[in-house]
Amino acid sequence: MSRQDPPLILPDDAYNQQLVANVHPSDWVNPEPTGRYNIVVVGAGTAGLITAVVAAGLGAKVALIEKHLMGGDCLNVGCVPSKGIIRAARAWADIRRASEFGIRIGADVTYDFEAVMTRMRRLRAHISQNDSAHRYSKLGVDIYIGTGRFIGHDSVQVEGPAGNRTLTFTKAAVCTGARAAVPPIPGLQVADYLTNETVFSLTVLPRRLGIIGAGPVGCELAQSFARFGSQVFLFESKHGILPNEDRDAAEILQDRLQGDGVHLRCCTTDMRIRKTETGKRITLESHGKPEEIEVDEILIAVGRAPNVETLGLDAAGVKYDWRGVTVNSRLQTSNPNVFAAGDICSRHKFTHAADAMAQIVIQNALFPHPFGLGYADVESLIMPWCTFTDPEIAHVGLYEGDAKKQGIEVETYTYKFDEIDRAVLDGTDEGFARVHIRKGSDKILGATIVGAHAGEMIGEFTMAMKAGGGAKILAGTIHPYPTQAEVNKKVVTLWRKAHFSSNMKHILTKLFAWMRK
């Protein structure tokens, strides 16, 4: 990047300069290819980084191509910056409820949004060392900064600032991820908007913020900006927030969002936007009622669109469509020597999903049957996820509705946090744990937790499901007292109590009576 080029990420302060120096160094010199690579990876987000570094660690000759910032969305415009500001927003909210814990704070408390964003940039720059070009080069990966484009079934051309390089491969992996999808709302392009790729560059708090899309990203940022003091309007075309989530869990969070000052407009139709002298005016209908709302900034959070353009996939014989690259269960594309992982091909657009898929690519691309580790199958993954609001909502496996659609009979049990001592003492007693167990067995098919630290606790259900253990294992596992995680044991204990039959109790009652004689 020359001095005349615009900064790769804004604002152009010392922390972002440190970030760029790590993940897109301006003085980077692409290596000269020296023969065929075992695997060429296009895209250095989570899936690409994991694929490259694991393959190199196994002794393979690996090339990794990135045209923008190594670390992808997760580091630069996703998980890392969002969790940084979510933590700050929670601190602001804790200050406002400090009197509940015996702390008297005067009216002269100062809230500094610019300091919040500076802290986030500082921490992101520090974390970026883990994804840096120099680190991966030292780990044995040939790093190419530039645009990667397939020019044949076994070759990729890298268009870099100092000229092009042609790389040949035995196997390749497409890991170029996805970007924010933008809905065709009349007037949106003229009015301008933010996405996850630009919202973390803000240095001034928007006085009025409209967020279109009440999925996980929309809810997380709506709550955070409301806690920072923005007047936030959250728009959703479906009913309520998190339309795909457990409805009871979503309703608990919806109440909290509204308590934090978020103005929800759901079931929206006929949305239009126009720029005015004082802001951006949104006209819509919500539940059939016409409304006009003016905001200063609009944030789009309606999902993801795969980055398939400019890759030359046709030249490689790789099929794709609007959903992304087409893969089989082994993450193999229509070109048997090209694989894909991460948001470019996954319905689970999470960092940990990309990590798991990268492991599958490694097994199937570098260790073909029967000589290697055997075929790994993406359909066998047990995928947990979490929405990092307050309270958090975490889930793994099937919902009750999913089980019914598949013809599976389940027993569902729910245990509320207001019956967990630690939750009561911490003042985090809203929410519940819910588990779905296959009828006639103790097999756990799915679980949802809504509450503080839900993302930390869902792992116990995930491990039980992965290991083939059931409710009996969790019910018999000792949990430290008092902890939030006791809810996991309590909810499966409800299953055990339900299956302690009246006949068994009758028999034991007679036995104990006999023992008293």
Q: Does 62 map to a domain? A: yes
What is the pLDDT averaged over residues 252-263? Answer: 98
Residue 238 sits in the same domain as residue 261? yes
Look at residue 4 in the predicted model and tell me its pLDDT. Answer: 58
Is the pLDDT at 371 greater than 60? The verdict is no
| Residue type at position 328 | N
Task: Give dist(CA 104, CA 118) in Å, integer.
Answer: 28
Write down which residue in 272, 302, 332 finishes a domain. Answer: 302
Q: What is the pLDDT of residue 502?
A: 65
User: Under DSSP, is residue 65 helix (H, G, I), strand (E, B) or coil?
Assistant: strand
Same domain, 491 and 404: yes
Q: Are 205 and 127 members of one domain?
A: no
Residue 87 in any domain: the answer is: no
What gap in Å lies between CA 21 and CA 124, rounded to an integer? 13
Residues with Cβ < 8 Å from 107, sequence gap 6 or more?
A: none
Q: Cα(119)–Cα(435) distance, rounded to whole angstroms?
A: 38
Residue 425 has pLDDT above 60, yes or no: yes
**CATH number, domain with residue 423:** 3.30.390.30
Mapped onto helix, strand or coil, the DSSP state of residue 452 is coil
Same domain, 210 and 335: no
Nearest to 254 by CA among 64, 391, 427: 391
pLDDT at res. 146 = 97
Maximum CA extent, the chain:
96
CA distances from 106 to 30, 257, 352 (A): 57, 26, 43
57 pLDDT band (50/70/90 cuts)? very high
Check whether residue 315 and residue 298 sit in a common domain.
Answer: no
Judge whether 4 lies within some domain: no
pLDDT bracket for residue 509 (50, 70, 90): confident
Total domain count for the chain?
A: 3
* Region 225-249 average pLDDT: 97
| 269 φ, ψ (degrees, to nearest 5) | -140, 165
Which residue range(s) make up the domain with 458?
391-502
pLDDT tens per residue, range 274-298: 999 999 999 999 999 999 999 999 9
One-character DSSP codes across 458-489? HHHHHHHHHHT-BHHHHHTS---SS-TTHHHH
Looking at the fold, whether 255 and 173 belong to one and the same domain comes out as no
CATH of the domain at 273: 3.50.50.60
Q: What is the pLDDT of residues 383-411, one digit of tens each?
A: 999 999 999 999 999 999 999 999 999 99
Our CA angle for 428, 432, 434, nearest 5°, is 155
The pLDDT assigned to 375 comes to 54
Average model confidence (pLDDT) across the chain: 95
* pLDDT value of position 242: 98
For residue 437, what is the enclosing H or E element?
A: strand 432-438
Q: Which helix (H) or strand (E) holds 411?
A: strand 410-416
β-pairing, 432-438 with 444-451? antiparallel
Which of 2-16, 133-147, 345-359, 468-482 shows the lowest per-residue confidence on average (mean pLDDT)? Answer: 2-16
pLDDT over 90 percentage in the chain: 91
Q: What average pLDDT does range 349-353 have in this prediction?
A: 97
**Residue 289: strand pairing partners:** 286
| Domain limit, last residue, from 250, 271, 302 | 302
pLDDT digits (tens, 9 = 90+) for 79-105: 999 999 999 999 999 999 999 999 999
> pLDDT band at 106, cuts 50/70/90?
confident
Please tell me whether residues 30 and 171 are part of one structural domain: yes
Which pLDDT score is estimated for 1?
47
Of the three residues 367, 383, 413, the one that is the final residue of a domain is 367
Question: For residue 259, what pLDDT is reported?
Answer: 97
85 within some domain: no
**pLDDT, tens digit, for every residue of 114-156?**
999 999 999 999 999 999 999 999 999 999 999 999 999 999 9
For 428-480, how does the pLDDT look when each residue is reduced to its tens digit (9 = 90+)?
A: 999 999 999 999 999 999 999 999 999 999 999 999 999 998 999 999 999 99
Q: Is residue 95 part of a domain?
A: no
